[in-house]
Amino acid sequence: MGISRLESIIRNAESKPKLMGTNGILKISLKDLPHVSNHRSNPEIRTVVIDTSEFIYKSIIGGDHTSGILNFLEKMFRCEIMPIFVFDGKPPKEKTRIIEERKRVRERARERVLSLKGQISKADEILNIVTELHDSKHTLTDSLIDTNIGLVNGAKQAHSESPNTNLKDDIVEMDDVGNPVCYDTESYMNAMNAMNAMNLSYGTLYDILCDGAVYPNCTSSEEADFRDMLQLPTEDIIDKIRAKISTLYNETERMGKKTVGIQDMQYTDIKQLFNQFNIPYIHAGVEAEMICATLVKLGIADYCIGNDMDLFALGCPRIVRNLNFRDDFVDIYYLDTILHNLELSYTEFVDLCILLGSDYTGRLGGVKNFHILEYVQKYKSIEAILEKIDEINVGLVGQFTEDGMQRVARFPESFNYNEARAIFHTEFTKEQIASLLHIPLNDIYQSCANKCLELRSNNSVYDKTVEYCQQKCGRLNNMLIAKKINTIIWSNLVNETKADDFIMVKSKKTSPINTLGRRKEIINDIRSRSYQKNFSRVAFGSSPNHAMVMIS
C-alpha cells in the first residue's frame, strides 16, 4: 500500500480531541512496551508477531540473512519480548499486477547495477592514468594533445599508404583541446579505438568530471567549463574523479537494494535458526500480514511488528513500526484511536485504504490524499463516491495540478475494490491459527523456555547451536555469536516462565555445568587448533554476564 499516503493522513488528521498520544501514535522504548490484558495462559509475557520477510530483506541488504535475524532475536529477548515469526505464503491472484511490476523493477535495477559497475571500472582506469600523469608532472591537456597528435599523424600515414581513403588535407586537424576531428571513417575509428584503449577520450573524461552531464549532449557553456577544468592541476582533477567514483559506488549500493529477492534456502536457514531455540513460527499459504493481524485480533500476540500499511486495513489493533537497531525506540499505532481521530468506522477506513491505493487496486487519481479522506467522511463508501463522481468533479473546478491541468477525479481501470475488501476482511479462527504453528499454541512459551534450559545445561546441544550460527552468520564473529546466544538463553523472559525447572535454575548461584572443568577443556581444545583466532567456545557462569569467550 502507499505507505506515505496513509501515513500522512494519520499524522495530519485534524479531528475531535485526541484520545492518546499524537494521532494514535505513541513513541516508546521497546523495553517499555505496555502489557496488554488478554486471555492468554501467560499474560505477563509480552508477545509480538513479526512479518518476517521485511526483516529478511533488511538482513540480506545488511550482509547476510541469518546474522540479521539473530540480531533481531537478541533484541527481542533482551527487551523481554516473546516473538512469533510469520513467513509469506502464496499471494492472492489480485496481487499479480504489483508482483509483475516489482519483478520489472528488480530487472531494471540489475541492468543499472551492471552499467554502474562498468562506469566505476572505467573511472578507476582513468584515475590510474591521471595519477601517473600527475606523478610524471604532465598536465592532462598536454597529454591529450600529445596523444592525439600521434593519432592524427597515424591517420595521415594510413592515408599515404592507402590514397583511396578519401582524406582531404584541410580536414585533418585538432580542436583546441587536442582532439582529432574530421578525417576518413576508417582512420577516425582507428584513432578513437586507440584513445578508448588509453581511456583518455574527450567524451569519457567529460562524463566523469562533469557530474550529471553527458557528452556530447551538453551546452557550449558547459563544454567551455569543462575545457577550463582540463587546465586545472592534476591533483584537483584526481579529486574530482575520486568524488565521481564515490557517487557511482553510492548509486550502485542504492540500486543493489532493489535487486534483492528471498530464496527458498534462506527461508530454510532462518527456520533452522528458530528451531535452535524453539522460537514459534508460521509459514502458511497466505500473505504474512493477514496472519499477523489475526494473531493480534485474537489476543495470541499483543502487537504486530511491521511497516506494511496493509496491516491497518486488515484491522490489526496495535502495530509497532519504525524498529531499528540503533536504539530501542519504536512507534506504536493504535487503530481504535486512529479511527476516532479520522472520524471513520473500520469499514469506512478500509474503503479509504483502497482508494489511496493498495497492492490489489490502483488509487483514486487526480485528487490529493486529503480530498479522498473528505470524500469517505462525507459519502461513507466507495459505491457512494462512484455515484457522486460527477458532483465531486464539479467541486474540483478551478483546482489545478502542479503542471497546470484541471483536477479531475478518476477511478483506475479494472477497479476491483470488492476483491480488495474481501481480502482486508479475511478472518481466521484460533483453531486455524493453532494448526499453522509448528509448536502447539499453548506451549509456545514453555517450549522455548525448555529449549533454553537445555542449552544452558547441555554442552553438546549448546555447541551444536554455536556451530550452526558460526556456519550461517557470516557477518558476525564468534565472540558476537556467543554473546547473542547467551543473551537469548539467559533472558529474564525465560526466567519468568512458570516451569519448576526454571525456578530452580534461577535460584541457583551457579550453572549446573562444571564451569572450571569446562574452561580447561575449552582452553585445551583451542590450543590444539592451528587457526586459533577463527575458533571460540563458551564457558558458562550463572548468568550471561559470566559467560566467557575464550580465544587464545
Cell of 416: 476491483
Cell of 341: 481521530
pLDDT above 90 coverage of the chain, percent: 30
Cell of 131: 595519477
CB environment 93-122: b (16+ within 10 A), e (fewer)? ebbeeeeeeeeeeeeebeebbeebeebbeb
Query: In this predicted model, what pLDDT tens digit does every residue of 354-390 receive, in sequence order?
Result: 999 888 888 899 998 989 999 999 999 999 999 999 9
Domain stop point among 202, 225, 257: 257
Query: In this predicted model, what pLDDT tens digit does every residue of 209-242 receive, in sequence order?
Result: 665 555 555 666 766 666 666 666 777 778 888 8
Helix (H, G, I), strand (E, B) or coil at 437: strand
Angle between helices 346-356 and 369-379 (to 10 degrees): 150
Does 467 share its domain with 499? Answer: yes
Across all residues in the chain, what is the average pLDDT? Answer: 74
| Predicted confidence band of residue 465 (pLDDT cuts 50, 70, 90) | very high
Q: What would you report as the CA-atom Rg of the chain, rounded to the nearest whole angstrom? A: 32
pLDDT above 70 coverage of the chain, percent: 66
Q: Burial, 203: exposed, middle or buried (Cβ in 10 Å; 0-12, 13-18, 19+)?
A: middle
Gap between the Cα atoms of 258 and 113, Å rounded: 10
Place of cell 520477510: 53
Query: How many C-beta atoms surround the C-beta of residue 334 within 10 A?
Result: 19
Of the listed ranges 411-415, 473-477, 532-536, the least confidently predicted one is 532-536
Does 114 share its domain with 55? Answer: no
Does 84 share its domain with 223? Answer: no
More confident residue, 7 or 196: 7
Check residue 415 and give its pLDDT. 87
Cα 514–chain centre separation:
44
The most distant pair of C-alpha atoms in the chain lies apart, rounded to whole Å, by 102
Cell of 257: 537494494
Check residue 202 and give its pLDDT. 56
Does 285 share its domain with 379? Answer: yes
Phi, psi of 448 (to 5 degrees): -65, -40
Give the DSSP letter of residue 406. B
Model confidence at 457: pLDDT above 80: yes
Mean pLDDT score, 325-353: 91
Does 470 share its domain with 409? Answer: no
Place of cell 522455548: 448
Domain stop point among 381, 406, 436: 436
Q: Which sign does the torsion angle of CA 269, 271, 273, 276 carry?
A: negative
Check residue 201 and give its pLDDT. 53
Gap between the Cα atoms of 204 and 214, Å rounded: 9
Domain stop point among 406, 436, 466: 436
Q: Find out whether 342 and 382 touch, Cβ atoms under 8 Å.
A: no
| Predicted confidence band of residue 7 (pLDDT cuts 50, 70, 90) | confident
More confident residue, 321 or 216: 321
Q: Which domain holds residue 218?
A: 102-257
| Predicted confidence band of residue 338 (pLDDT cuts 50, 70, 90) | very high
Check residue 183 and give its pLDDT. 39
Does 377 share its domain with 499? Answer: no
Does 187 share its domain with 274? Answer: no
Q: How many separate domains does the chain show? A: 3
Check residue 446 and give its pLDDT. 87
Beta strand pairing status for 318-321 and 329-334? Answer: antiparallel
